[in-house]
Structure 1
Amino acid sequence: MPLYIVGLPGSGKSAVGRILKEDFGYDVVDFDEILKIETGKSFNDIIRNNGLQTIKSLEGKFLKRFKKFEEKIVVTLGTISNLELFNGKIIYIKIPKEKFVKRLKKINKKYSDKELDIIFEEMHSIFSQKADLVISSENKTKFDISKIIDDFYRKNLKK
Protein backbone atom coordinates (compact mmCIF):
# COMPACT_ATOMS: atom_id res chain seq x y z
CA MET A 1 0.00 0.00 0.00
CA PRO A 2 1.47 3.37 -0.96
CA LEU A 3 1.88 6.38 1.28
CA TYR A 4 0.98 9.75 -0.20
CA ILE A 5 2.57 12.96 1.03
CA VAL A 6 0.31 15.96 0.46
CA GLY A 7 0.61 19.61 1.39
CA LEU A 8 0.27 23.07 0.00
CA PRO A 9 3.01 24.55 -2.20
CA GLY A 10 5.97 25.48 -0.03
CA SER A 11 5.35 22.81 2.59
CA GLY A 12 8.57 20.96 1.78
CA LYS A 13 7.07 17.80 0.29
CA SER A 14 9.87 17.29 -2.24
CA ALA A 15 12.64 17.99 0.27
CA VAL A 16 11.10 15.47 2.68
CA GLY A 17 10.78 12.97 -0.18
CA ARG A 18 14.50 13.33 -0.96
CA ILE A 19 15.41 12.73 2.68
CA LEU A 20 13.15 9.67 2.85
CA LYS A 21 14.84 8.30 -0.27
CA GLU A 22 18.46 9.20 0.43
CA ASP A 23 18.65 8.86 4.23
CA PHE A 24 15.96 6.28 4.99
CA GLY A 25 16.14 4.17 1.82
CA TYR A 26 12.51 4.41 0.74
CA ASP A 27 11.35 4.02 -2.85
CA VAL A 28 9.99 7.51 -3.54
CA VAL A 29 8.11 8.83 -6.58
CA ASP A 30 8.09 12.64 -6.69
CA PHE A 31 5.50 14.15 -9.01
CA ASP A 32 7.57 17.38 -9.21
CA GLU A 33 10.30 15.36 -10.93
CA ILE A 34 7.81 13.64 -13.24
CA LEU A 35 6.33 17.06 -14.04
CA LYS A 36 9.76 18.38 -15.12
CA ILE A 37 10.47 15.30 -17.23
CA GLU A 38 7.06 15.23 -18.92
CA THR A 39 6.54 18.94 -19.55
CA GLY A 40 10.05 20.36 -19.48
CA LYS A 41 8.73 22.93 -17.00
CA SER A 42 8.91 23.34 -13.25
CA PHE A 43 5.92 23.53 -10.91
CA ASN A 44 6.54 27.27 -10.55
CA ASP A 45 6.64 27.81 -14.33
CA ILE A 46 3.34 25.99 -14.81
CA ILE A 47 1.63 27.88 -11.96
CA ARG A 48 2.96 31.17 -13.34
CA ASN A 49 2.03 30.55 -16.98
CA ASN A 50 -0.89 28.12 -16.88
CA GLY A 51 -2.37 28.31 -13.37
CA LEU A 52 -3.36 25.89 -10.65
CA GLN A 53 -5.95 24.13 -12.82
CA THR A 54 -3.20 22.78 -15.09
CA ILE A 55 -1.33 21.40 -12.06
CA LYS A 56 -4.53 19.68 -10.87
CA SER A 57 -5.06 18.12 -14.29
CA LEU A 58 -1.47 16.86 -14.57
CA GLU A 59 -1.57 15.39 -11.06
CA GLY A 60 -4.73 13.48 -11.96
CA LYS A 61 -3.02 12.05 -15.04
CA PHE A 62 0.03 10.99 -13.01
CA LEU A 63 -2.12 9.30 -10.36
CA LYS A 64 -4.05 7.34 -12.99
CA ARG A 65 -0.90 6.31 -14.82
CA PHE A 66 0.97 5.22 -11.72
CA LYS A 67 -2.00 3.46 -10.09
CA LYS A 68 -0.08 0.50 -8.68
CA PHE A 69 2.55 2.14 -6.55
CA GLU A 70 2.45 -0.72 -4.04
CA GLU A 71 5.07 0.02 -1.38
CA LYS A 72 6.25 3.39 -2.58
CA ILE A 73 6.07 6.83 -1.05
CA VAL A 74 4.40 9.23 -3.47
CA VAL A 75 5.13 12.94 -3.18
CA THR A 76 2.17 14.70 -4.79
CA LEU A 77 1.89 18.12 -6.41
CA GLY A 78 -0.36 19.17 -3.54
CA THR A 79 -3.81 19.53 -5.07
CA ILE A 80 -7.10 18.34 -3.61
CA SER A 81 -8.92 17.53 -6.81
CA ASN A 82 -7.67 13.94 -7.13
CA LEU A 83 -7.91 12.52 -3.60
CA GLU A 84 -10.37 9.86 -4.75
CA LEU A 85 -7.50 8.32 -6.75
CA PHE A 86 -5.35 7.79 -3.65
CA ASN A 87 -5.31 4.11 -2.70
CA GLY A 88 -3.16 4.25 0.41
CA LYS A 89 -2.35 6.24 3.52
CA ILE A 90 -2.15 10.04 3.35
CA ILE A 91 0.19 12.30 5.31
CA TYR A 92 -0.46 16.04 5.25
CA ILE A 93 2.46 18.40 5.87
CA LYS A 94 0.75 21.52 7.21
CA ILE A 95 2.29 24.98 6.80
CA PRO A 96 1.13 28.34 8.15
CA LYS A 97 -1.19 30.28 5.84
CA GLU A 98 1.25 33.20 5.68
CA LYS A 99 3.99 30.96 4.27
CA PHE A 100 1.63 29.59 1.60
CA VAL A 101 0.40 33.08 0.59
CA LYS A 102 3.97 34.40 0.39
CA ARG A 103 5.11 31.43 -1.73
CA LEU A 104 2.22 31.62 -4.21
CA LYS A 105 2.42 35.40 -4.57
CA LYS A 106 6.12 35.04 -5.34
CA ILE A 107 5.35 32.46 -8.04
CA ASN A 108 2.31 34.18 -9.53
CA LYS A 109 1.45 37.75 -8.63
CA LYS A 110 -1.98 37.57 -10.29
CA TYR A 111 -3.52 35.79 -7.27
CA SER A 112 -5.20 38.19 -4.84
CA ASP A 113 -4.90 37.76 -1.08
CA LYS A 114 -8.58 36.84 -0.98
CA GLU A 115 -8.15 34.13 -3.64
CA LEU A 116 -5.17 32.68 -1.80
CA ASP A 117 -7.04 32.72 1.52
CA ILE A 118 -9.89 30.76 -0.09
CA ILE A 119 -7.50 28.27 -1.71
CA PHE A 120 -5.63 27.78 1.57
CA GLU A 121 -8.76 27.28 3.67
CA GLU A 122 -10.31 24.84 1.20
CA MET A 123 -7.16 22.76 0.74
CA HIS A 124 -6.25 22.79 4.43
CA SER A 125 -9.74 21.69 5.42
CA ILE A 126 -9.86 18.81 2.95
CA PHE A 127 -6.29 17.63 3.60
CA SER A 128 -6.92 17.70 7.35
CA GLN A 129 -10.08 15.60 6.99
CA LYS A 130 -8.60 13.04 4.58
CA ALA A 131 -5.14 12.63 6.10
CA ASP A 132 -4.24 9.65 8.24
CA LEU A 133 -1.58 11.86 9.84
CA VAL A 134 -1.20 15.66 9.94
CA ILE A 135 2.30 17.00 10.61
CA SER A 136 2.71 20.69 11.41
CA SER A 137 5.93 21.97 9.85
CA GLU A 138 6.29 24.75 12.39
CA ASN A 139 9.47 24.44 14.48
CA LYS A 140 10.46 21.23 12.66
CA THR A 141 13.27 20.57 10.24
CA LYS A 142 12.66 18.58 7.08
CA PHE A 143 14.59 15.74 8.74
CA ASP A 144 12.26 15.89 11.78
CA ILE A 145 9.27 15.58 9.46
CA SER A 146 10.93 12.72 7.58
CA LYS A 147 11.54 10.87 10.85
CA ILE A 148 7.87 11.24 11.83
CA ILE A 149 6.87 9.84 8.42
CA ASP A 150 9.35 6.96 8.79
CA ASP A 151 7.88 6.10 12.21
CA PHE A 152 4.34 6.24 10.79
CA TYR A 153 5.31 4.05 7.83
CA ARG A 154 6.93 1.43 10.05
CA LYS A 155 3.89 1.27 12.33
CA ASN A 156 1.20 1.35 9.63
CA LEU A 157 2.75 -0.07 6.47
CA LYS A 158 5.50 -2.54 5.79
CA LYS A 159 8.93 -1.54 4.56
Structure 2
Amino acid sequence: MKNIVLIGMPGAGKSTIGVILAKVIGYNFIDSDLLIQEREGCLLKDIIERDGLNGLIAIENKVNSEISAQHSVIATGGSVIYGKEAMEHLREIGTVVYIKLSFETINNRLGNIKQRGVVFREGQTLLSLYQERCPLYEQYAHIIIDGEGLGIEEVMEKIRVETQENWS
Protein backbone atom coordinates (compact mmCIF):
# COMPACT_ATOMS: atom_id res chain seq x y z
CA MET A 1 0.00 0.00 0.00
CA LYS A 2 2.37 2.70 -1.17
CA ASN A 3 0.39 5.87 -0.64
CA ILE A 4 1.78 9.37 -0.30
CA VAL A 5 0.11 11.43 2.43
CA LEU A 6 0.61 15.21 2.30
CA ILE A 7 0.44 17.23 5.52
CA GLY A 8 1.14 20.88 6.27
CA MET A 9 -0.40 24.25 6.96
CA PRO A 10 -3.36 25.58 4.99
CA GLY A 11 -1.90 27.31 1.94
CA ALA A 12 1.08 24.93 1.71
CA GLY A 13 -0.28 23.59 -1.60
CA LYS A 14 -1.18 20.05 -0.50
CA SER A 15 -4.20 19.69 -2.79
CA THR A 16 -2.66 21.45 -5.79
CA ILE A 17 0.62 19.56 -5.53
CA GLY A 18 -1.25 16.31 -4.77
CA VAL A 19 -3.31 16.43 -7.96
CA ILE A 20 -0.24 17.05 -10.14
CA LEU A 21 1.86 14.44 -8.32
CA ALA A 22 -0.89 11.83 -8.71
CA LYS A 23 -1.03 12.48 -12.47
CA VAL A 24 2.75 12.32 -12.86
CA ILE A 25 3.16 9.01 -11.00
CA GLY A 26 -0.11 7.44 -12.14
CA TYR A 27 -1.76 7.38 -8.71
CA ASN A 28 -5.29 8.20 -7.58
CA PHE A 29 -5.87 11.47 -5.74
CA ILE A 30 -7.85 11.79 -2.51
CA ASP A 31 -8.59 15.11 -0.79
CA SER A 32 -9.58 14.22 2.77
CA ASP A 33 -11.32 17.60 3.29
CA LEU A 34 -13.62 16.73 0.39
CA LEU A 35 -14.29 13.30 1.93
CA ILE A 36 -15.33 15.05 5.16
CA GLN A 37 -17.58 17.52 3.31
CA GLU A 38 -19.17 14.69 1.30
CA ARG A 39 -19.83 12.59 4.40
CA GLU A 40 -21.23 15.53 6.38
CA GLY A 41 -23.13 17.12 3.49
CA CYS A 42 -21.73 20.58 4.16
CA LEU A 43 -18.60 22.73 3.96
CA LEU A 44 -15.87 22.62 6.63
CA LYS A 45 -16.76 26.12 7.84
CA ASP A 46 -20.38 24.97 8.26
CA ILE A 47 -19.25 21.94 10.27
CA ILE A 48 -17.33 24.32 12.55
CA GLU A 49 -20.45 26.48 12.96
CA ARG A 50 -22.61 23.40 13.62
CA ASP A 51 -20.30 21.25 15.77
CA GLY A 52 -17.54 23.60 16.92
CA LEU A 53 -13.83 23.09 16.47
CA ASN A 54 -13.68 19.94 18.56
CA GLY A 55 -16.54 18.49 16.53
CA LEU A 56 -14.69 19.11 13.26
CA ILE A 57 -11.49 17.61 14.66
CA ALA A 58 -13.38 14.49 15.82
CA ILE A 59 -15.02 14.08 12.38
CA GLU A 60 -11.70 14.69 10.64
CA ASN A 61 -9.98 12.12 12.87
CA LYS A 62 -12.67 9.50 12.14
CA VAL A 63 -12.79 10.08 8.36
CA ASN A 64 -8.99 10.07 7.99
CA SER A 65 -8.56 6.97 10.15
CA GLU A 66 -10.98 5.11 7.85
CA ILE A 67 -9.31 5.93 4.53
CA SER A 68 -8.67 2.72 2.65
CA ALA A 69 -6.51 3.36 -0.38
CA GLN A 70 -3.68 1.97 -2.43
CA HIS A 71 -1.45 3.81 -4.87
CA SER A 72 -3.00 7.15 -3.93
CA VAL A 73 -1.81 10.64 -3.11
CA ILE A 74 -3.82 11.78 -0.08
CA ALA A 75 -4.00 15.51 0.66
CA THR A 76 -5.13 16.12 4.23
CA GLY A 77 -6.55 19.12 6.02
CA GLY A 78 -4.09 21.18 8.02
CA SER A 79 -5.66 20.09 11.32
CA VAL A 80 -5.32 16.34 10.63
CA ILE A 81 -2.36 16.24 13.04
CA TYR A 82 -4.74 16.77 15.98
CA GLY A 83 -6.13 13.27 15.40
CA LYS A 84 -3.79 10.66 16.87
CA GLU A 85 -5.72 7.70 15.40
CA ALA A 86 -5.84 9.31 11.97
CA MET A 87 -2.12 10.06 11.94
CA GLU A 88 -1.18 6.57 13.12
CA HIS A 89 -3.41 5.09 10.39
CA LEU A 90 -2.03 7.40 7.68
CA ARG A 91 1.56 6.54 8.70
CA GLU A 92 0.67 2.84 8.40
CA ILE A 93 -0.87 3.10 4.93
CA GLY A 94 1.60 5.53 3.39
CA THR A 95 4.62 7.77 3.50
CA VAL A 96 3.71 10.99 5.29
CA VAL A 97 5.27 14.07 3.66
CA TYR A 98 5.28 17.43 5.43
CA ILE A 99 5.36 20.37 3.02
CA LYS A 100 7.21 22.93 5.13
CA LEU A 101 6.95 26.65 4.45
CA SER A 102 7.80 29.75 6.46
CA PHE A 103 5.11 31.60 8.36
CA GLU A 104 5.56 34.58 6.03
CA THR A 105 4.84 32.46 2.96
CA ILE A 106 1.75 30.85 4.53
CA ASN A 107 0.49 34.24 5.70
CA ASN A 108 0.94 35.71 2.20
CA ARG A 109 -0.85 32.80 0.49
CA LEU A 110 -3.96 32.70 2.65
CA GLY A 111 -6.86 34.88 1.61
CA ASN A 112 -10.09 34.66 3.60
CA ILE A 113 -8.93 32.07 6.07
CA LYS A 114 -12.38 31.64 7.67
CA GLN A 115 -13.84 30.54 4.31
CA ARG A 116 -11.31 27.71 4.19
CA GLY A 117 -12.61 26.09 7.37
CA VAL A 118 -9.33 26.56 9.19
CA VAL A 119 -9.42 25.38 12.80
CA PHE A 120 -8.84 28.43 15.01
CA ARG A 121 -9.58 28.58 18.71
CA GLU A 122 -10.95 31.84 20.08
CA GLY A 123 -8.23 34.48 20.31
CA GLN A 124 -5.77 32.38 18.31
CA THR A 125 -3.73 34.04 15.57
CA LEU A 126 -2.32 32.49 12.42
CA LEU A 127 1.16 32.83 13.94
CA SER A 128 0.22 30.98 17.14
CA LEU A 129 -1.53 28.29 15.06
CA TYR A 130 1.60 27.93 12.91
CA GLN A 131 3.83 27.67 15.99
CA GLU A 132 1.50 25.06 17.53
CA ARG A 133 1.22 22.88 14.44
CA CYS A 134 4.75 22.83 13.00
CA PRO A 135 6.21 20.54 15.71
CA LEU A 136 3.28 18.14 15.18
CA TYR A 137 3.82 18.05 11.41
CA GLU A 138 7.50 17.29 12.01
CA GLN A 139 6.64 14.61 14.59
CA TYR A 140 4.37 12.67 12.22
CA ALA A 141 6.29 13.15 8.96
CA HIS A 142 8.40 10.41 7.42
CA ILE A 143 9.82 13.03 5.03
CA ILE A 144 10.03 16.83 5.37
CA ILE A 145 10.12 18.80 2.12
CA ASP A 146 11.24 22.42 2.37
CA GLY A 147 9.13 24.19 -0.22
CA GLU A 148 10.34 27.69 0.58
CA GLY A 149 10.96 29.70 -2.59
CA LEU A 150 9.98 26.79 -4.84
CA GLY A 151 7.16 26.56 -7.37
CA ILE A 152 4.45 23.89 -7.36
CA GLU A 153 6.26 21.74 -9.94
CA GLU A 154 9.55 21.92 -8.04
CA VAL A 155 7.93 20.87 -4.74
CA MET A 156 6.07 18.07 -6.53
CA GLU A 157 9.31 16.80 -8.05
CA LYS A 158 11.11 16.87 -4.68
CA ILE A 159 8.27 14.81 -3.18
CA ARG A 160 8.35 12.34 -6.08
CA VAL A 161 12.11 11.80 -5.77
CA GLU A 162 12.15 11.61 -1.95
CA THR A 163 9.25 9.16 -1.68
CA GLN A 164 10.71 6.85 -4.33
CA GLU A 165 14.06 6.88 -2.50
CA ASN A 166 12.22 6.15 0.77
CA TRP A 167 10.57 3.08 -0.80
CA SER A 168 13.83 1.67 -2.20
Normalising by structure 1, we get a TM-score of 0.78
The 1:10–1:48 alpha-carbon spacing in structure 2 relative to 1, beyond 3 Å, is: farther
Higher share in helix: 2
Give 1:127's aligned residue.
137
- Which of 105-114 and 139-148 deviates more? 105-114
CA separation in 2, counterparts of 1:143 and 1:21? 12
SS at match of 1:140: coil
CA separation in 1, counterparts of 2:40 and 2:105? 27
Question: Could you tell me which of 142, 151, 159 is aligned with 2:161?
Answer: 151
Give 1:71's aligned residue.
71
CA separation in 1, counterparts of 2:46 and 2:156? 27
Q: CA deviation at 1:46?
A: 4.3
CA separation in 2, counterparts of 1:134 and 1:26? 21
Q: CA deviation at 1:123?
A: 0.8
Give 2:32's aligned residue.
31
CA separation in 2, counterparts of 1:101 and 1:91? 21
- Which of 31-40 and 12-21 deviates more? 31-40
CA separation in 2, counterparts of 1:153 and 1:142? 16
CA separation in 1, counterparts of 2:141 and 2:8? 10
SS at match of 1:89: strand
SS at match of 1:108: helix
CA separation in 1, counterparts of 2:37 and 2:100? 24
- Which of 8-17 and 135-144 deviates more? 135-144
Q: Which amino acid aligns with 2:145?
A: I
The 1:97–1:55 alpha-carbon spacing in structure 2 relative to 1, beyond 3 Å, is: farther
Q: CA deviation at 1:51?
A: 5.2
Normalising by structure 2, we get a TM-score of 0.74
CA separation in 2, counterparts of 1:10 and 1:44? 16
Q: CA deviation at 1:134?
A: 1.4
Q: Which runs of 5+ in 2 are unaligned?
A: none
* RMSD (CA atoms): 3.0
SS at match of 1:93: strand
Q: CA deviation at 1:7?
A: 0.5
Q: Which amino acid aligns with 1:76?
A: T
Q: Which runs of 5+ in 1 are unaligned?
A: none
Residues 27-70 of structure 1, C-alpha deviation per residue, up to 9 Å, x if partnerless?
2221122133223433455457755434422221112222x434
Matches for 1:9-158 after TM superposition, within 5 Å: 9-46=10-47, 52-66=53-67, 68-79=68-79, 80-82=81-83, 83-86=87-90, 87=92, 88-101=94-107, 106-108=112-114, 114-157=124-167
Aligned residue pair count: 157
- Which of 86-95 and 46-55 deviates more? 46-55
